[in-house]
Amino acid sequence: MTLATSEGLDIRHVRKRYVQRGTALDVLDDITLRVRPGEFISVLGASGCGKSTLLRLIAGLDTDYSGDIFVAGERVRDTSLQRGIVFQDHRLFPWLTASQNILAALRNAPLTAKQKRDAVAEHIALVGLAGFENAYPNQLSGGMAQRVAIARGLVNRPRVLLLDEPFGALDALTRGRLQNELQRIWEQERITMILVTHDVDEAVYLGDRVVTMAPRPGRIKRIVDVGLPRPRKRGDARFLRLRDEIVADFGESGDLPSDGDDGSPSVEAAHPPITEWRLAW
């Protein structure tokens, strides 16, 4: 049964422009995308194509754009507990423990103190960190800290979880393990997830659909239905064929250029530091 569009995420003709030194820079051009409730979408593109900008607009961290973004039929006008976000850098508060970092996301939630404590404990267990509740960020590995960030993004039970290259700074082995963990969490929770990445394997491994983006200005190039059963096997011939088909859209490398790799400044790198953004919860 197909759920109504109004219950999911609906992006309609979104355009975004920055003005730098008096010069207008078009970052996103006519982005239209409908995401079904519980769907996992991978947004794939090289740095500078505006994919992280798109996540910020969905999160409500930036509201200066044209077009419309709806979540469950309501227009996005600001940040909301209905939309969680996880960044490439875990951005945990170093003076708080793992549990306290997750609890911080519940400060505006309409829950009692006990309900908040129970929610934190549930999500610590969900991301596999039981026993590390009282550890500080500097006592955690990069992968464990990112698990805390994922738990923080999920603890309010948002309708949509936005993931901005959450594994990009991790080593290959840790990255693979966390991809498996994220897939497990998604299958268990069935929260709509939108992952931004420049890794083709990651996009195909996790996504129900892969949205490929072209740069300058950022626009949707095409949308690919993955259609492979889960759990997926990276060595499966069907996986490799689909991966190679998508790679052909971008060039020879399966890991698309990151900031500066193409010899030009990244549009996404021009964003102000995180301290200048409103918190998403």
Tens digits of residue pLDDT in 58-69: 999 999 999 999
DSSP state of 272: P
Closest to 145 measured CA to CA, from 187, 178, 111: 178
**Helix, strand, coil tally for the chain in percent (to 5):** 35, 25, 40
Q: At what angle do helices 113-126 and 142-154 cross, to 10 degrees?
A: 130
pLDDT of 38 higher than 70: yes
Tens digits of residue pLDDT in 227-268: 999 989 999 999 999 999 999 887 654 445 554 333 333 434
Residue 24, pLDDT score: 86
| Unique residue bearing structure tokens 């949509």 | 160
Determine the average pLDDT of the residues in 192-212.
Answer: 95
Domains and CATH numbers, the chain: 35-62+76-82+158-275 (3.40.50.300)
224: left (phi over 0), alpha (psi -120 to 50) or beta: beta
In one letter, which amino acid is 37?
A: P
Residue 261 tokens, joined: 């790799």
The span from the CA of 72 to the CA of 109, in Å, is 19
Residue 54 tokens, joined: 């798109």
State which H helix or E strand residue 161 sits in.
Answer: strand 160-164
pLDDT of 4 higher than 50: no
> Which of helix, strand or coil describes residue 186?
helix
Residue 179, pLDDT score: 93
Residue 279, pLDDT score: 55
Strands 209-214 and 219-225: antiparallel
Nearest 5°: CA angle at 218, between 2 and 273? Answer: 105
Q: Which carries the bigger pLDDT value, residue 37 or residue 278? A: 37
Residue 207 tokens, joined: 């996504």
The span from the CA of 119 to the CA of 140, in Å, is 21
Strands 9-20 and 66-71: antiparallel
Entry pTM = 0.84
Tens digits of residue pLDDT in 161-182: 999 999 988 889 999 999 999 9
